[in-house]
A and B are shown apart, each in its own frame.
Chain A
Amino acid sequence: MKRSSWAIPYALFLVVFVLLPLILVVVYAFQDSMGRFTLGNITKFFTDRDTLSTFAVSLEVALENTLLCILLGYPAAWILANRKLNRSAVTIVLFILPMWVNALMRTLATAELFNMLGVTLGKGTLLFGMVYDYLPFMIYPIYNILDKMDKSYAEAAADLGARPGTVFWKVTVPLSMPGVASGVLMVFMPTVSTFAISEFLTNNKIKLFGTIIQENINSSMWNYGAALALVMLVIIGLSSLLSGGEKEEMQGGLI
């Protein structure tokens, strides 16, 4: 058997489970309910005020969530990667441990906790749930890059006269930006498309883009749902390209 034929099962898998569904999404997005070609689904998205405002809210929540994750995650990653402050691998596992529990279970439990404490569900609880769910995805890539960073960069900066604070802002932070960029990628887009967290933690008071797609699909409006999913896909694709390009320059990141 030729070596290249080993790839056949994978190719088959890709066609059946990735390519075909994608084609279906595109086909559905450009059809009306009778199966005729139309651009109506796409134009509907850009003209429907409800959908657009939900989209705006989604982006806002995603942005806030991402910022919070960076603010909380960066220091956490820095502490974890600092051998003086963290001498054991156990602490890292503790940070990753929540990811081993089903996300739905965690969200439901969080909602119950808020109910028990009598906290009104809304924007605050939504962000709490989001940060709780996505923080590890921010911590891990940043931790990884900080942990592997050659410490001679920091030493060189100190040697050239930089105080510890200056070393951090002028060398450590810029050099860890690729980690932040992949963290952003892993937090930002999933937040836009999630619906479970907003459903459970706001009782559907706040709708996100993912919620709308889910509602449309659930009420058998396949074509409009597919069009929305396509919009989403394009945005994810664009933002990946953007952060990929930034990564080469090792500066900036998505924000």
Chain B
Amino acid sequence: MAEKIIEIQHVSKSFDGKRVLEDINLYIKKGEFLTLLGPSGCGKTTLLRMIAGFLAPDEGAILLDGKEMGDLPPHQRPLNTVFQRYALFPHLDVYDNIAFGLKLKKVPVDEIDRRVRRVLKLVAMSDYEDRDVETLSGGQQQRIAIARAIVNQPKVLLLDEPLAALDLKMRKDMQIELKEMHRKLGITFIYVTHDQEEALTLSDTIVVMNEGRIQQIGTPTDIYNEPVNCFVADFIGESNILKGRMIRDRRVAFIKHQFDCVDEGFGEDVPVDVVVRPEDIYFTTDPQKCQFKAKVNTCTFKGVHYEMWVDTDTGYELMIQDYDPYPVGSEVMLYIDPDDIQVMKKERTANVLEGKVTGDGKVELLGGEFPCDTSAYEVGDEVRVEIPFGGVELLDNREEGILSGEVHFILYMGDHYHLTIKTDDGDFLWVDTTDIWDKGDLVGITAAEKDIRILGRL
């Protein structure tokens, strides 16, 4: 195995009391193309800036070649960064921009000249050395920014969403070129992006991040085929995410049907989440192969394939991608290969909260007073409380709720939505509902007495 060039050990970081990175552990192998992937605000850029030295971790250590970098300022780190908006110096021409780092290191003039010309050739920008950087197109500026970084022969190249400002066609072309450059240079690349397709195309290893935590580390195929949780499954590619039940090893039930699968070790009769990629549900005309029937609801041409939404005979909606279209309204027979069913352990099966009995029939949870049967407990008791996902009610009017918050994350589960609600205090609640909400909607939160159950004293 290749040696580790960068190691990140137990790194945490807060801004103004808000935790943006939580106990990050990660190593990057020499020569690897590693991508930090996640939605905006997941902490990926913060992590990159810490590696570059622009930010210091609150806790933990970042090691380069086995040595802790500590407070080493950016100018002493043998790393270079390609910035999101390129940050080319507008007062210098292309040549002087690229030569900036070499001149500071007092590299002899003729060597600077040779190296600048070599990287210009590498990024296909020869003959541009006298140009003003502001006269270059976005894509050209991007190339110069990469040239300016790699001319210093860094041990690690850090790239902060370098293609985000380019249009789709150019982005695709640059992806191929970046991959090619990585192969030629043999430098370790750490790449930050929110674009899952880009990450799948470019990376040797993908680190999926969300809410300041690493969700999954793996190769693109691992991450795509075997997501560890609903977040990863939803974030990477299209997927049908469904509630399921593991009946026994290699047998799982979902959409009210039973399927063979390849997963083992979950136990018997255990609730799980199931992911099926839309291209892994197959049409058949053979009644022997058919596992369940459905009716085609919509059919949209997407270029390479058709995207169809079908209603199953058991009342679930599934997305299917196929090269052949099936007419809307037609009855179809479907099957799924055991290999293509990804079973995931449920992260939680209900909201479990810590609270305090504040009065007869009242319990305080997350700063709000909820009605509850407290007959077996006394005022002041600290208790653990369970509210099922379906027991939390969301209200349009945030003043009418016992708590208020906003819709933070939405997952469609085939026949209902599974929402993550972030309360105003930053706590999380999970809700199952058939109502349609949008991400960012402000909501009031309540729960009925019958749905709040005290599990016991703390």
Determine the chain B residues whose CB is within 8 A of the CB of A160 once the complex forms: 75, 80, 100-101, 104, 148-149, 152
Option from A150, A155, A166, A250 in Cβ contact (under 8 Å) with B74: A155
Write the B365-402 contact mask toward A (1 if CB under 8 angstroms, else 0).
Answer: 00000000000000000000000000000000000000
Instruction: Output the least CB separation between A27 and chain B (Å).
Output: 45
For residue B85, CB closer than 8 A to chain A, the reply is yes
Instruction: Output the least CB separation between B69 and chain A (Å).
Output: 14
Asked if residues B52 and A150 are in contact (CB atoms below 8 Å), the reply is no
Option from B54, B101, B104 in Cβ contact (under 8 Å) with A155: B54
In residues 103-156 of chain B, which contact A (Cβ within 8 Å)? 104-105, 148-149, 152
| Chain B residue with Cβ nearest A152 | B87
Instruction: Output the least CB separation between B176 and chain A (Å).
Output: 25
In residues 81-106 of chain B, which contact A (Cβ within 8 Å)? 81, 83-85, 87-91, 100-101, 104-105
Asked if residues B74 and A171 are in contact (CB atoms below 8 Å), the reply is no
Option from A156, A174, A250, A251 in Cβ contact (under 8 Å) with B87: A156
Asked if residues B104 and A153 are in contact (CB atoms below 8 Å), the reply is no
Asked if residues A174 and B91 are in contact (CB atoms below 8 Å), the reply is yes
Asked if residues B87 and A161 are in contact (CB atoms below 8 Å), the reply is no
For residue A175, CB closer than 8 A to chain B, the reply is yes
| Chain A residue with Cβ nearest B99 | A160
Option from B52, B90, B100, B105 in Cβ contact (under 8 Å) with A250: B90
In residues 115-137 of chain A, which contact B (Cβ within 8 Å)? none
Write the A148-162 contact mask toward B (1 if CB under 8 angstroms, else 0).
Answer: 001011011111111
Q: How far is the CA of A133 from the CA of B227 in the complex (A)?
A: 68
Interface-central residue, A155, A156, A162, A251, by most chain B CB under 10 Å:
A156
Asked if residues B87 and A158 are in contact (CB atoms below 8 Å), the reply is no
Contacts A150-B87, A153-B89 given; indicate if A158 touches B104 (C-beta within 8 A): no
Q: How far is the CA of A180 from the CA of B200 in the complex (A)?
A: 48
Q: How far is the CA of A152 from the CA of B84 in the complex (A)?
A: 9
Determine the chain B residues whose CB is within 8 A of the CB of A87 once the complex forms: none
| Chain B residue with Cβ nearest A155 | B54
For residue A163, CB closer than 8 A to chain B, the reply is yes
Write the B225-237 contact mask toward A (1 if CB under 8 angstroms, else 0).
Answer: 0000000000000
Asked if residues A153 and B101 are in contact (CB atoms below 8 Å), the reply is no
Q: How far is the CA of A10 from the CA of B341 in the complex (A)?
A: 75
Q: How far is the CA of A153 from the CA of B89 in the complex (A)?
A: 7
For residue B73, CB closer than 8 A to chain A, the reply is yes
Determine the chain B residues whose CB is within 8 A of the CB of A161 once the complex forms: 75-76, 101, 104-105, 152
Contacts A150-B85, A152-B83 given; indicate if A158 touches B75 (C-beta within 8 A): yes
Asked if residues B85 and A152 are in contact (CB atoms below 8 Å), the reply is yes
Determine the chain B residues whose CB is within 8 A of the CB of A158 once the complex forms: 54, 73-75
Instruction: Output the least CB separation between B153 and chain A (Å).
Output: 12
Contacts A171-B89, A174-B91 given; indicate if A157 touches B100 (C-beta within 8 A): yes
Determine the chain A residues whose CB is within 8 A of the CB of B88 once the complex forms: 156
Determine the chain A residues whose CB is within 8 A of the CB of B73 once the complex forms: 158
Q: How far is the CA of A152 from the CA of B74 in the complex (A)?
A: 13
Asked if residues A251 and B85 are in contact (CB atoms below 8 Å), the reply is no
Asked if residues B85 and A163 are in contact (CB atoms below 8 Å), the reply is no
Option from A153, A157, A159, A170 in Cβ contact (under 8 Å) with B52: A159
Q: How far is the CA of A158 from the CA of B85 in the complex (A)?
A: 16
Determine the chain A residues whose CB is within 8 A of the CB of B84 once the complex forms: 152
Determine the chain A residues whose CB is within 8 A of the CB of B83 once the complex forms: 152, 155-156
Q: How far is the CA of A166 from the CA of B106 in the complex (A)?
A: 13
Determine the chain A residues whose CB is within 8 A of the CB of B85 once the complex forms: 150, 152
Interface-central residue, B75, B83, B88, B105, by most chain A CB under 10 Å:
B75
Instruction: Output the least CB separation between A4 and chain B (Å).
Output: 35
Q: How far is the CA of A231 from the CA of B71 in the complex (A)?
A: 60
Instruction: Output the least CB separation between B367 and chain A (Å).
Output: 31
Determine the chain B residues whose CB is within 8 A of the CB of A170 once the complex forms: 100
| Chain A residue with Cβ nearest B88 | A156
Instruction: Output the least CB separation between A180 and chain B (Å).
Output: 13
Q: How far is the CA of A251 from the CA of B90 in the complex (A)?
A: 10
Asked if residues B90 and A156 are in contact (CB atoms below 8 Å), the reply is no
Contacts A160-B100, A160-B148 given; indicate if A155 touches B105 (C-beta within 8 A): no
Instruction: Output the least CB separation between A161 and chain B (Å).
Output: 5
Instruction: Output the least CB separation between B187 and chain A (Å).
Output: 15
Instruction: Output the least CB separation between A233 and chain B (Å).
Output: 32
Q: How far is the CA of A141 from the CA of B75 in the complex (A)?
A: 30
Asked if residues A156 and B81 are in contact (CB atoms below 8 Å), the reply is yes
Q: How far is the CA of A122 from the CA of B52 in the complex (A)?
A: 55
Asked if residues A159 and B80 are in contact (CB atoms below 8 Å), the reply is yes
Interface-central residue, A152, A159, A175, A250, by most chain B CB under 10 Å:
A159
Asked if residues B104 and A156 are in contact (CB atoms below 8 Å), the reply is no
Determine the chain B residues whose CB is within 8 A of the CB of A163 once the complex forms: 75
Contacts A159-B75, A162-B104 given; indicate if A250 touches B152 (C-beta within 8 A): no
Asked if residues A155 and B75 are in contact (CB atoms below 8 Å), the reply is no
Q: How far is the CA of A237 from the CA of B101 in the complex (A)?
A: 41
Asked if residues A155 and B148 are in contact (CB atoms below 8 Å), the reply is no
Instruction: Output the least CB separation between B138 and chain A (Å).
Output: 16
Q: How far is the CA of A158 from the CA of B105 in the complex (A)?
A: 12
In residues 284-335 of chain B, which contact A (Cβ within 8 Å)? none
| Chain A residue with Cβ nearest B77 | A159
Q: How far is the CA of A35 from the CA of B27 in the complex (A)?
A: 90
Sample of 13 further A-B pairs with CB below 8 A, known A160-B100, A161-B152: A152-B87, A155-B83, A155-B87, A156-B87, A157-B89, A159-B79, A159-B149, A160-B80, A160-B104, A161-B76, A162-B75, A162-B104, A166-B104
List of 9 A-B pairs having minimum Cβ-Cβ separation, nearest first = A160-B101, A152-B87, A156-B87, A158-B74, A174-B91, A161-B104, A159-B81, A158-B75, A161-B75
Chain A interface residues toward B at CB < 8 A? 150, 152-153, 155-163, 166, 170-171, 174-175, 177, 250-251
23 A–B contacts, CB within 8 A, in A order: A155-B54, A155-B74, A155-B81, A155-B83, A156-B148, A157-B100, A158-B73, A158-B75, A159-B75, A159-B80, A160-B148, A161-B75, A161-B76, A161-B101, A161-B104, A161-B105, A161-B152, A162-B104, A170-B100, A171-B89, A175-B90, A175-B91, A177-B91
